[in-house]
């Protein structure tokens, strides 16, 4: 079925298992982030079998899909107050930064006779979520003591998301020290110091991870085998767990510059062209409605992408490694954005290969 995304179950399991084992030696456990594949349970199973400690997702709808797995589940995006009841129902742990939200969680946890665990988010400078003014921490922990159905079990941070700030000894060191301060002053045990996402792993890879960071929340490193601080490949991970496969619906020789006055393309941009003479072009039945504005890369290095519109992808196959005909399939490697879009597209068949 085309277009489709081929998902290699064993390679995914290897990637997750490899990280679990390696990071264990550095005192770091893994919360595996499932949003990249929309938390499809048949895919999540590989990650659970690999021995990760938690499953984590930014959307409650995805945590609901994961409810049959016996692991504790973490909600990554700050909860919406309007969803607080569901958050308590389907997440064991949530990341938080707002007292009003934690009060709402407390209310529903009381109603459901539950203890809802929270990780308080600290903004170390990336300027997305979290407490920025450390002076507020005292008041927050004082007030948390009055919420009987909320249990603060950790603090965490998120970096390299909005501001592109890279995790290092300095900012993660501040997080660890803050944790010590909280434990000493507020009679709580912080069992989790959550040091970020796939941008933090270079520190582990270089055996430089700050002592005291004991959790990373990892999507990209497991799914794509790359780290996201410097965009490097992880040598002992597979980069081709997920592949886009699309089908050729036209092959024709055409000039490389359009004929006529150039106005706007299908997305309102004025395109420019290099004249490379007549080229062999193929059109594939997949487009921006599926992969969004994100990058995809032909697995055949001798094929290049010329452009795409909502339902069509146009590639130059003049130098392709193999002869191609209409009906043939081409494979593409994916970045995180493309993976998310393709997994979300209802027009793309999800083909799990075991
Ligand atoms: C998505 C997300 C992650 C995982 O990020 P990766 O770069 O895929 O490892 C971690 N933490 C939070 C809060 C997230 O939203």
Using the mean position of ligand 1's atoms as its centre, give its distance from the Cα of residue 306 in Å.
31
Residue whose Cα lies nearest atom 7 of ligand 1: it is: 198
- Residue 175 burial (CB < 10 Å; 0-12/13-18/19+)? buried
Please give the backbone phi and psi of residue 227, each rounded to the nearest 5 degrees, phi first.
Answer: -105, 160
Q: In the prediction, which pLDDT does 271 show?
A: 87
Catalytic residue of the set 35, 73, 243, 350: 35
Using the mean position of ligand 1's atoms as its centre, give its distance from the Cα of residue 101 in Å.
21
Q: In the prediction, which pLDDT does 250 show?
A: 98
Contacts 24+ apart (CB under 8 A), 264-268: 265/307, 265/309, 266/309, 266/310, 267/309
All residues at 6 or more sequence positions from 120 whose CB lies less than 8 Å from its CB, including other chains: 96, 97, 131, 140, 152, 154, 155, 156
Point out the ligand 1 atom lying closest to the alpha carbon of residue 35. Answer: 1
Q: In the prediction, which pLDDT does 269 show?
A: 87
Is the Cβ–Cβ distance between 102 and 153 less than 8 Å? no
Looking at the chain, list the stretches that DSSP marks H as alpha helix, in order from N- to C-terminal side: 9-24, 41-49, 60-65, 84-90, 99-111, 137-144, 169-186, 201-205, 220-223, 288-291, 336-344
pTM here is 0.95
Rounded CA gap, 78 and 101, in Å? Answer: 9
Q: DSSP 3-state assignment of 308?
A: strand
* Ligand 1 within 6 A of CB of 76: yes
* Ligand 1 within 6 A of CB of 94: no
Point out the ligand 1 atom lying closest to the alpha carbon of residue 36. Answer: 8
Using the mean position of ligand 1's atoms as its centre, give its distance from the Cα of residue 275 in Å.
42
Is the Cβ–Cβ distance between 315 and 298 less than 8 Å? yes
Alpha carbon dihedral 67, 243, 14, 202, in 10-degree steps, equals -100
254 is an active site residue: no
Is the Cβ–Cβ distance between 116 and 105 less than 8 Å? yes
Q: Which tokens in the block code for residue 128? A: 């997305």
Give pLDDT tens digits along the chain (354 positions).
999 999 999 999 999 999 999 999 999 999 999 999 999 999 999 999 999 999 999 999 999 999 999 999 999 999 999 999 999 999 999 999 999 999 999 999 999 999 999 999 999 999 999 999 999 999 999 999 999 999 999 999 999 999 999 999 999 999 999 999 999 999 999 999 999 999 999 999 999 999 999 999 999 999 999 999 999 999 999 999 999 999 999 999 999 999 999 888 888 888 889 899 999 999 999 999 999 998 899 999 999 999 999 999 999 999 999 999 999 999 999 999 999 999 999 999 999 999
């Amino acid at each position: 079925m085309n277009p489709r995304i081929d998902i290699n179950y064993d390679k995914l399991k290897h990637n997750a298992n490899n990280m679990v084992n390696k990071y264990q030696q550095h005192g770091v456990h893994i919360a595996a982030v499932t949003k990249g594949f929309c938390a499809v349970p048949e895919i999540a199973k590989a990650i659970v079998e690999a021995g990760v400690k938690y499953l984590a997702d930014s959307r409650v709808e995805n945590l609901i899909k994961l409810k049959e797995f016996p692991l504790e589940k973490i909600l990554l995006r700050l909860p919406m107050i309007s969803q607080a009841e569901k958050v308590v129902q389907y997440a064991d742990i949530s990341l938080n930064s707002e007292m009003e939200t934690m009060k709402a969680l407390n209310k529903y946890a009381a109603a459901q006779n539950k203890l809802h665990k929270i990780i308080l988010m600290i903004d170390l400078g990336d300027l997305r979520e979290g407490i920025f003014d450390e002076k507020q921490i005292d008041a927050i922990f004082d007030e948390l003591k009055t919420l009987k159905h909320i249990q603060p079990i950790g603090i965490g941070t998120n970096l390299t998301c909005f501001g592109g700030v890279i995790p290092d000894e300095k900012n993660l060191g501040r997080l660890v020290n803050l944790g010590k301060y909280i434990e000493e002053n507020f009679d709580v045990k912080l069992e989790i110091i959550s040091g970020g996402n796939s941008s933090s792993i270079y520190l582990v890879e270089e055996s430089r991870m700050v002592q005291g960071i004991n959790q990373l929340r990892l999507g990209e490193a497991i799914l794509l085998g790359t780290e996201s601080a410097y965009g490097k490949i992880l040598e002992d991970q597979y980069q081709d767990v997920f592949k886009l496969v699309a089908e050729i619906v036209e092959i024709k020789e055409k000039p490389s510059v359009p004929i006529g006055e150039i106005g706007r393309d299908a997305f309102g941009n004025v395109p420019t062209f290099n004249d490379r003479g007549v080229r062999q072009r193929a059109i594939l039945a997949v487009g921006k409605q599926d992969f969004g504005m994100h990058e995809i890369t032909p697995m055949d290095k001798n094929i290049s992408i010329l452009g795409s519109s909502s339902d069509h992808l146009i590639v130059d196959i003049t130098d392709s490694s193999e002869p191609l005909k209409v009906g043939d399939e081409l494979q593409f490697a994916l970045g995180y954005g493309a993976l998310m879009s393709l997994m979300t597209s209802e027009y793309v068949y999800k083909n799990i290969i075991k």
